[in-house]
């Protein structure tokens, strides 16, 4: 199955957009090259190279840009089991000692399996969202000044260093604030691949709009007058998540063209022919606005 995944990627027809992720082809290629290729190339070749797999990666950038989508997709393509997902604020348990225990548990399954099966062990992906909540520069008082943040970082470091021979772990940290992450975590052998996932450019927004309207288009409930290129031009600074919110909002405007709120009579036949049209999207633009980058709107 791993070979099949590899062949799919190497195939010239392969498009990252087909996985429901838009505008991140270049980022995905980088991930593939740096953290991925070694895991799908023949093991004997990797052995000849004598290099350990990348064990950790940091995806950083504004919220809603697809970091979680990518992390999950990596898991699928590498044929890993369902990733363990944990988030920084959750780990910071107020009972001292409990947060280190949470970290220990995260790695326990992978360690156990590696002990039993060695290199035959399947890949364990750990997605650590909002990593900055626990991994602020040590000594900075992260974790409410209790020093809990410090001990979580230490525990993570010892796990990552301890898994030197554990080839079956890929830790994917995510943050909106790379500058807040303890440098020690970002060194080679730890979260060594750093990749910025930024807001999509115009072509990226075309791709994301197409992804999020694909179903309505296929099912013939999107009006032919919807101009995706124009919407992409009008959505400067929107994240993927905000574009998905825009599509939802447009749909709600389409509903209200067919249903007068409060009068449900005669709705069924009206609604049967409902299509989301361009004006619905323009109306949606009046209510869904980008949270970030608004003051950089002239860039691009």
**Residue 129 is a binding residue for ligand ATP (CB under 6 A):** yes
- For 62, the token pair is 């504004």
**Tokens 């090259």, residue located:** 33
CA distance 193 to 56: 7
CA distances from 86 to 80, 173, 213 (A): 17, 10, 30
Q: Which residues have a Cβ under 8 Å from the Cβ of 243 and sit 6 or more positions away?
A: 200, 205, 208, 209, 212, 235
**Residue 37 is a binding residue for ligand ATP (CB under 6 A):** no
CB of 42 to ligand ATP, least distance (A): 31
**Residue 21 is a binding residue for ligand ATP (CB under 6 A):** yes
- Of 3-11, 66-74, 114-122, 163-171: span binding ligand ATP (CB under 6 A): 66-74
CA distance 37 to 84: 22
- Of 138-146, 184-192, 228-236, 240-248: span binding ligand ATP (CB under 6 A): 240-248
**Residue 149 is a binding residue for ligand ATP (CB under 6 A):** no
Contact characters 265-294, ligand ATP, x per CB under 6 A: ------------------------------
**Residue 19 is a binding residue for ligand ATP (CB under 6 A):** no
**Residue 24 is a binding residue for ligand ATP (CB under 6 A):** yes
Contact characters 195-224, ligand ATP, x per CB under 6 A: -------------x--x-------------
- For 212, the token pair is 């999020």
CB of 196 to ligand ATP, least distance (A): 11
Among residues 6, 31, 64, 182, the one that binds ligand ATP under rule CB under 6 A? 64
**Residue 73 is a binding residue for ligand ATP (CB under 6 A):** no
CA distances from 151 to 66, 105, 138, 156 (A): 29, 15, 9, 9
Is residue 88 exposed (0-12), middle (13-18) or buried (19+ Cβ within 10 Å)? buried
Q: Are 132 and 181 in contact (CB under 8 A)?
A: yes
* Contact residues: ligand ATP, CB under 6 A: 20-24, 63-69, 129, 176, 208, 211, 240-241, 244
């Amino acid at each position: 199955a791993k070979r099949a995944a590899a062949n799919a990627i190497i195939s010239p027809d392969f498009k990252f957009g087909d996985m429901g992720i838009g505008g991140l082809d270049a980022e995905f290629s980088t991930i593939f090259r740096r953290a991925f290729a070694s895991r799908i190339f023949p093991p004997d070749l990797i052995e000849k190279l004598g290099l350990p797999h990348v064990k950790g990666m940091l995806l950083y950038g504004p919220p809603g840009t697809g970091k979680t989508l990518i992390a999950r997709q990596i898991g699928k393509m590498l044929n890993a089991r369902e990733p363990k997902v944990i988030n920084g604020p959750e780990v910071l348990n107020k009972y001292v000692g409990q947060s280190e225990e949470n970290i220990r548990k995260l790695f326990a399954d992978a360690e156990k399996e590696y002990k039993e099966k060695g290199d035959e062990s399947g890949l364990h992906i750990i997605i650590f969202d909002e990593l900055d909540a626990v991994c602020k520069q040590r000594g900075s008082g992260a974790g409410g000044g209790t020093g809990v943040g410090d001990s979580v970082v230490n525990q993570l470091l010892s796990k990552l260093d301890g898994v030197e021979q554990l080839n079956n772990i890929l830790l994917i940290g995510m943050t909106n604030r790379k500058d807040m992450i303890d440098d020690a975590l970002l060194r080679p052998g730890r979260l060594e691949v750093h990749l910025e996932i930024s807001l999509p450019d115009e072509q990226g927004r075309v791709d994301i709009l197409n992804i999020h309207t694909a179903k309505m288009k296929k099912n013939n409930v999107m009006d032919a007058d919807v101009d995706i290129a124009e919407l992409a031009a009008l959505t400067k600074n929107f994240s993927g998540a905000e574009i998905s919110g825009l599509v939802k909002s447009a749909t709600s405007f389409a509903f209200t063209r067919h249903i007068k709120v409060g009068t449900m009579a005669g709705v069924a036949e009206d609604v049967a022919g409902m299509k989301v049209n361009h004006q619905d999207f323009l109306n949606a633009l009046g209510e869904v606005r980008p949270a970030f980058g608004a003051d950089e709107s002239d860039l691009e």
